[in-house]
Structure 1
Amino acid sequence: MIGFMLRLTIPAAMLLDCGSAGAQDIDPDILRAQAGTYLVAPENGRAGCRLTLETDLAIGGYSLSGQDHCSKPLPALAEAAAWNFDGNGGLILIDPTRKAIARFVENEGSPMKTEDETPLLLLSAPDGVDRLPTFRSLAGTWAMQRPGGEKLCSVTLDGTLDTDGHAPLSLSADCAANVARLKLAVWNIDGFGLTLMSHDGSSLSFDMRADGNFDKSREEGGKPLSLVRH
């Protein structure tokens, strides 16, 4: 799935001294691995903005750019002047006074996110996409097909969550045998990843494209497969 997670073990004392001296103690490889452009967006599907985490030193940590684009969707982030590691595997955005204005916590297997009432996620995103998909926005009928257009199945996603945080799905009666035997019954989203699951452990994972459709995750292996909205 498309997402962001990087496990780091940084001494917590570094958070107490986020000046250039502390910043210089970071392994350059870790710093370069973290740097890049990410979408910061609310979990509820509202618009977010893109920030570029850079490797140059800044007051309180390292420089960043793109914060001006946050002034409308996420005004608080427009004040970000630097970023740094928080010493616990997470990441903080800092204003010019070194005050942390957003703290992204590591979530194993999922994108980093804040612990606010409406969490913000920090993750890689397809070009041109400014918000996260939600159960409501993805509900509807999709064609499961090969890249050349060969249709294998119609998949209808219901947007009503169950107590486990999944939502039901249904497959058309004409599904190809290799899809039908998976007995897919529920679905979930995690960042820009969509997973179709059975009740006995079978699953198919997809990553969202810039056009809003999905391609099977590379980690799945096998032949290419897409989900295209009807």
Structure 2
Amino acid sequence: MIRLLGPAAVAAALALTIVQPARAADDEMIQAQAGVWLVAPESGAKGCRLTFGTNAVSGGYEITGADACAVPLPALTAAKIWNFTDDGALAIVDGGGKPLMRFQQEEGSPWESEGADPTWLLPALGDVDHVPTVASLAGAWRIQTPDGKPICDITLTTDKDQDGTSKMSPSGDCASEVGDLKLSLWATEGFGLVMLGNDGSSLSFDMKPDGSFQKSEEEEGEPLLLVRK
């Protein structure tokens, strides 16, 4: 997971890495990272969009659009450069090379900053300016097919189990493709939502720009949607 370091620690960590443009990254990695990204607090507060370019500048690659961060994340208004570091992190720095934010990524997870108040770095999703939270998603939902056929009604709650994972309760008449999973817990990560069963089963969804969810492409089986009731 990615945590946000204090200024002194970040400066020390980046002093030897933000010198040459993406030494540890090849052209394919740079192209894959280019585009519009949302930087937003894990808390659900508003974030801002930054555009990662592929034009090489001193210390990395250009960032545009930082003016949009003036209100939600004022520290990023000075963002001018992004780059991968030798330890696999992604750093955002100002025009003089001063570190502003540093992200890391575990396989299968979004970029996340370090620190007590994590921040996500996610591919921008339409006009969405914040990440969903357990509190914002709690309530009644329906899993259905794309043509609207109900599969399972569920309730996402903010109640936690002994490990701190939020609980959910499916209705008793779910179709076997969901009912057999015996889902009882759920969690969010960036724009993703995963439902968990006690036996290790799971069902993952990805958020859409309208606030609904679709079954993740990595999941097997027919497409499913998750919509509010």
- TM-score, length-scaled by structure 1: 0.88
Question: Structure 1's 154 and 67: CA in aligned 2 closer, same or farther, altered over 3 A?
Answer: same
CA positional deviation for 1:124: 1.5
Q: What is the distance in 2 between the residues matched to 1:33 and 1:228? A: 30
Query: Match for residue 7 of structure 1?
Result: none
Q: 1:194 to 1:13 in 2, by over 3 A?
A: closer
Using the alignment, how far apart are the partners of 1:14 and 1:47 within structure 2?
27
**CA separation of 1:71 and 1:50: change in aligned 2, threshold 3 A:** same
Report what 1:9 is aligned to.
none
Determine the C-alpha separation between the residues in 1 that align with 2:195 and 2:204.
Answer: 6
Aligned to 1:122: 121
Contact 2:68 2:77 in 1 (8 A): yes
Aligned-pair Cα RMSD in Å: 2.1
Q: 1:101 to 1:24 in 2, by over 3 A?
A: closer
Alpha-carbon shift at residue 78 of structure 1 (Å): 0.6
CA contact (8 A) 1:15 1:85 kept: no
- Aligned-pair CA distance for 1:30: 2.1
Superposition deviation, residue 134 in structure 1? 0.4
Per mean C-alpha deviation after superposition, the further-off stretch among 26-35 and 185-194 is 26-35
Q: How does 1:17-166 map to 2 (within 5 A)?
A: 18-19=18-19, 22-23=20-21, 25=23, 26-166=25-165
**CA deviation after TM superposition for structure 1 residue 140, in Å:** 0.2
Task: Name the SS of the counterpart of 2:128 in structure 1.
Answer: coil
Higher alpha-carbon deviation: 105-114 or 201-210: 105-114
CA deviation string 1:30-72 (max 9, x = no partner)? 2212222111000100000111111112232211111111111
Counterpart position of 2:5: none
Q: Aligned AA for 1:66?
A: G
Q: 1:175 and 1:114 mapped to 2: Cα distance?
A: 38
Tell me what 2:16 maps to. Answer: 16
Instruction: Tell me the residue number matched to 1:212.
Output: 211
Q: Deviations over 1:103-137 (max 9, x none)?
A: 11223321111112211111113211110000000
1:50–1:67 Cα contact (<8 Å) kept: yes
Superposed displacement of residue 155, structure 1:
0.5
TM-score (structure 2 length as normaliser): 0.88
Aligned to 2:195: 196
Match of 1:158, SS? Answer: strand
Distance 1:163 1:38, change over 3 A: farther
Q: Which amino acid aligns with 1:198?
A: G
The alignment of Structure 1 onto Structure 2 pairs a total of residues equal to 218
Contact 2:122/2:190 (8 A) holds in 1? yes
Q: Secondary structure at the match of 1:159?
A: strand
| Percent sequence identity over aligned pairs | 48
1:150-188 deviations in Å (ceiling 9; x for gaps): 111111001133343421111112222332221111111
Is the contact between residue 22 and residue 84 of structure 2 (CA under 8 Å) also seen in structure 1?
no
Take 2:22 and 2:108, find their aligned partners in 1: how far apart are those partners? 29
SS at match of 2:31: helix
Q: Secondary structure at the match of 1:218?
A: coil
Q: Structure 2: where are the runs of 5+ without partners? A: 3-11
Query: 1:191, CA displacement in angstroms?
Result: 0.9
Structure 1 residue runs of 5 or longer lacking an equivalent are: 5-11
What is residue 7 of structure 2 aligned with on the other side? none
